[in-house]
Structure 1
């Protein structure tokens, strides 16, 4: 822990607020791919460790800062239509307080991750766990819908109804589960194989994160980084593509459950992929 890293994380959070949480995460993916290329060429993992997942572009800093800034811009400043919207570059509002919130949550992300990873040394993906922690804090501080959102459809405000489907159930439908299983098995097998032959567990994650550029452009490309991240980790630690694929399916199912229960009828974003990643990583590290 150093003052320099704290200041850098403030800048990372400001960056996430300036360009938006999702665009910042997309940069995480592309820079991560550069870092993977450097490692494959025999270079050091500096870009991966210190930039992609560090105090600048780490999702716990830049993405989390953008998420908190969006919640603040929507629910406190009334400038953004919905705090659930992670795609809008908040620079459009030219409001310094929004940037400050992003920077503060960037620092918070750095400090919380340091607590989880270095002081407590939790056996999980502490970056993902920090993203969830930051999202929960942002909702409790800036939101009005509570941790689990509004469960009574009659109480859903017009603002929330316009941006979030009212969900009454806590488990995904069989149709959703079936779709997720097929998707996760396909991606899980491929990413597990890549993870084993390259020895780089995060390659699939970086590809998935970068692919969200098409989501930002308006195409119906889903988030898959929870599936590819967990498949890569499980395969890397177990040496089996089948175990990697199995955990990919588990990650997809946990994602749906978290999305239904923590990200429906809400006015800020708590990241379902991050929740799925840290839960599955805890199980994987406990086993292997």
Structure 2
């Protein structure tokens, strides 16, 4: 049952110069594409492409074929590994390019902010910037950065034959922090509550002032009057609710893996569900970090403990990942002016834990690493 359809990273070692240049040129276009259509729409495309690729891989296995690996050129590997997680819709390229574009526009074009947007415009990952050349150029630069950083991280972050973490998730996080530095936003920002984890200023609808940490106080305060504390998801930040959706999503991600052998199919379904969030449907939960880590929980326990225990473990893994996303959003998202992705932070941290437990022989494998 434990077989992987793809690898999410391809080491730089063994690349020809021509192939590397091909990747860089495509990544520039992929990052610009993410800026053009918006970061969240770009990630939704990731979900659709990975869903199709994983579906083809499942069909291939059902028909008696072997699991495909990136580099062989087969259709499923190309869709999931090279397209879905590659230069076209890879989150580290297209989504990250869109995030950087929003950060840039938040400083350069505050007048573009749409009516009804209550957060800093630099956090608006739903916004499509169309064909504005300078914004597309920002997306392109960060797309190239994402491709290069991911390649080197995938090659270097290996211990005892196991990747230390998900290099794509790590790249999304590093790219977002780089955008904060480049465009002059605080790395963390100033908390308006009793601690950095306190979301009560949001509940009281306290406004931000000109000296709060969301902007450089030396510059004009474009966002004065915005909320002092801006939770990543206003409908998904209470500990009880996050835990509940974590258990549910983790179990579903694990169940999908147990029945299909695909770690990434649940992730793809979660990503596709964000189409409804993009279209304005209220209270759609964000769960791709939950279903993915839930599937990993099933992967690591299924061989030794069977499907029932693996499914319960998947729920626990999903809840932990959901809570990691909430903790990281309270620290790194809520108090500054740009998007730093809580699901990517949760995945990167969770997979570090999985890798360490595999290296010290507590877990029998490290999931998709």
SS of the equivalent of 2:88 reads coil
| 1:136 paired residue among 177, 181, 191 | 177
Partner of 2:331 in structure 1?
261
The runs of 5 or more residues in structure 1 that have no matched partner are 169-174
**1:60 and 2:97 matched:** no
| 1:159 paired residue among 219, 223, 234 | 223
| 1:4 paired residue among 14, 19, 22 | 22
Partner of 2:286 in structure 1?
223
Q: TM-score, structure 1 length as denominator?
A: 0.91
Larger mean CA deviation between 134-143 and 182-191 belongs to: 182-191
Separation of aligned partners in 1, 2:34 and 2:222: 28
Separation of aligned partners in 1, 2:296 and 2:78: 19
Separation of aligned partners in 2, 1:19 and 1:187: 28
Q: Which runs of 4+ in 1 moved over 6 A?
A: none
Superimposed CA distance per residue, residues 112-145 of structure 1 (whole angstroms, 9 cap, x where no aligned partner):
111110133342111001000000000111133x
Pairwise CA RMSD of aligned residues? 1.9
Change over 3 Å in CA distance of 1:161–1:232 after alignment to 2: farther
Would you say the 8 A contact 1:73–1:79 is kept in 2?
no
Larger mean CA deviation between 184-193 and 25-34 belongs to: 184-193
Separation of aligned partners in 1, 2:171 and 2:332: 16
Q: How does 1:130-279 map to 2 (within 5 A)?
A: 130-144=171-185, 146-152=186-192, 154=209, 155-156=211-212, 159=223, 161-162=225-226, 164-166=227-229, 176-220=238-282, 221-239=284-302, 240-279=310-349
How far apart are 1:161 and its partner, in Å? 4.6
How far apart are 1:74 and its partner, in Å? 1.4
The runs of 5 or more residues in structure 2 that have no matched partner are 1-14, 61-74, 114-120, 193-207, 213-220, 232-236, 303-309, 358-362, 364-369
Separation of aligned partners in 1, 2:154 and 2:81: 13
Partner of 1:172 in structure 2?
none
Change over 3 Å in CA distance of 1:80–1:234 after alignment to 2: farther
Change over 3 Å in CA distance of 1:231–1:160 after alignment to 2: farther
How far apart are 1:188 and its partner, in Å? 1.3
Separation of aligned partners in 1, 2:97 and 2:154: 19
Computing the radius of gyration from Cα coordinates, the structure with the larger value is 2
Partner of 1:36 in structure 2?
54
Partner of 1:13 in structure 2?
31
Larger mean CA deviation between 230-239 and 254-263 belongs to: 230-239
Change over 3 Å in CA distance of 1:207–1:96 after alignment to 2: same
Larger mean CA deviation between 268-277 and 219-228 belongs to: 219-228
Partner of 1:111 in structure 2?
148
